[in-house]
Structure 1
Amino acid sequence: MNQSKGEKRMKHKDFQFNGPSRSNQRAKRRKTNLILNSLIVIVLLLIIIVSFSIFFSNGDKATEKVSDQNIETNAKDKEDEANASVEEEETNNTDLEEEAVETTTPVDSETESDDTVTENETVTEPESEDIVTEGSSDPNVKTTITNPDWQAVGTVQSGEHVPVYNESSTDWQEMLKAISYGTGIEQSNMTVWFLGRNKQGPQNQSVATVTTKDNSQTYRVFIEWVDNQGWKPIKIEELYER
């Protein structure tokens, strides 16, 4: 009986001795787990922060790239528009030079510009008589007049020649001189209703419709450019009406 009690006391002492040791171990485990969990949370937070930074950094770069591309595209579009505008203006200017000048108000040829005085002040009258042919395939033509001795009226122009159908140009004034020479109508008594390129003939030919101031005479005059010599009449049609 005494031995049994002694054994119980010994077991009780062992329990008391082992009890606190296990409690300490559990506390250490909890502390270790807490530390590990905290580290895991910190690592996850760091990963999220780094990923967030990388994502938005790439997004900003992509936005900047798109913006730069848009700026370059807009600049190129504006440059193309400017070039197209310049080309269109040059084309319009060329068309104005090539197209005939036809006005609702007739052009009077009373005076010539001081800058349009040609080298030959006078043109030698043709030696042979004009060749006059009655009628034509055009019912509006009364007679057709030609003369192989018609001459060019002279020019102050040099270099490659391109007809200029502009009333203030030297070319225009020289064409009027050739028309006056062929028809015999003084420029002061001439009204120009049409003067432009002869689309039925070569590039160097022009055609005009002129009348006297009193409209008693109406002519369609064909003239031709001769290099370094100027314009000369090649055919004149007397019309019933312009």
Structure 2
Amino acid sequence: MPVDFNQRSRSELRAKRRKTNIILNTLIAIVIILILIVGGRIFFGGDNPNEPDVAANPPDSKKIADQEKNDQTKKSLNEENEAPKESEEEPEEKIEKESDEPNVEKVIIDPNWEPVGTEQTNGHQPSYNKGTVDWNEKLKAVSHAVDIPEDNMILWWIEGGEDRQNQAIATVSARGSEDTYRVFIEWVDGEGWKPTEVKKLIQNDKKQ
């Protein structure tokens, strides 16, 4: 039986078209599947390249806490520096006034005078004997009142006040100076002798 070449050619052509269609359909299906996958990731919570990767890089809570603590500390320090310090009171000014008393040029009172301290641990043991503890502490208080070092101070006279046990009056001057002072001191229990008043004399009435 003779072969129909035209029929054979048409069969081969149809076969080739079927294969081509299958390949094309397969490729189209793959493309559609990829589109669906990508679209699903975009529209249903997929990764957004424009957003930070929070899961991969969570915020460091310790660093945040430390930063907040440092900021609070700086704020507190600034507030302390700006706030007035009530505890640091300015010293009161020394008072100097003229006097109508005979032989007294002026009277000096310093509100900042404090007791000079004491080594007398068993109560006050008043003494007007040179070299005793109480005597030496009297001179220390007098020196403090007139701001003359003890080794440069001449003691012209010392006596008891109205309360001889707890008050004393000393007349002193600095070596090489004509300025003479009468210093009043009183005893403060447990704290020592404290200056209360200084009178600058016109003349040294204790100089012999």
TM-score (norm 2): 0.52
- The C-alpha deviation readout for 1:49-82, integer Å capped at 9, x for no partner, is xxxxxxxxxxxxxxxxxxxxxxxxxxxxxxxxxx
User: 2:49 — aligned with what?
Assistant: none
Aligned-residue offset at 1:166: 1.1
- Within the candidate set 152, 158, 170, 2:115 is matched to 152
Contact 2:141–2:194, Cα closer than 8 Å, also in 1: yes
Runs of 4+ residues over 6 Å off in structure 1: none
Whether the 8 Å contact between 2:123 and 2:190 is mirrored in structure 1 is: no
1:233 pairs with 2:195: yes
Of 182, 198, 215, which residue of structure 1 is paired with 2:161? 198
- Asked if structure 1 preserves the Cα contact closer than 8 Å seen for 2:93 and 2:111, the reply is no
Query: Aligned equivalents of 1:145 and 1:132: distance in 2?
Result: 5
Which one of the candidate residues 91, 96, 99 is aligned to 1:132? Answer: 96
Q: Please point out which of 161, 165, 169 is paired with 2:128.
A: 165
Aligned partner of 1:196: which letter? E
CA distance in 1, matches of 2:104, 2:196: 16
**Aligned-partner Cα distance in 1 for 2:190–2:149:** 24
Give per-residue Cα distances to partners, 1:20-40, cap 9 Å, x unaligned.
Answer: xxxxxxxxxxxxxxxxxxxxx
Match of 1:173, SS state, is helix
Give distance in 2, aligned partners of 1:155 and 1:134: 33
Distance 1:172 1:203 in 2: 12
Task: Give 1:229 deviation, angstroms.
Answer: 0.4
The alignment yields a C-alpha RMSD, in angstroms, of 1.7
CA distance in 2, matches of 1:188, 1:131: 27
Between structures 1 and 2, the one with greater helix share: 1
Any idea what SS the aligned residue of 1:219 has?
strand
Match status 1:143 vs 2:121: no
Structure 1: unaligned runs, 5 residues or longer: 1-125
Deviation of 1:198 (Å): 0.9
Structure 2 counterpart of 1:212: 174
Over the matched positions of the two proteins, sequence identity in percent amounts to: 43
Q: Which moved more, 1:213-222 or 1:226-235?
A: 213-222
Displacement, 1:237?
0.2
1:74 match: none
The letter for the 1-side match of 2:200 is: E
Shift of 1:202: 6.6
Mapped to 1, the partners of 2:195 and 2:175 lie a distance apart of 21
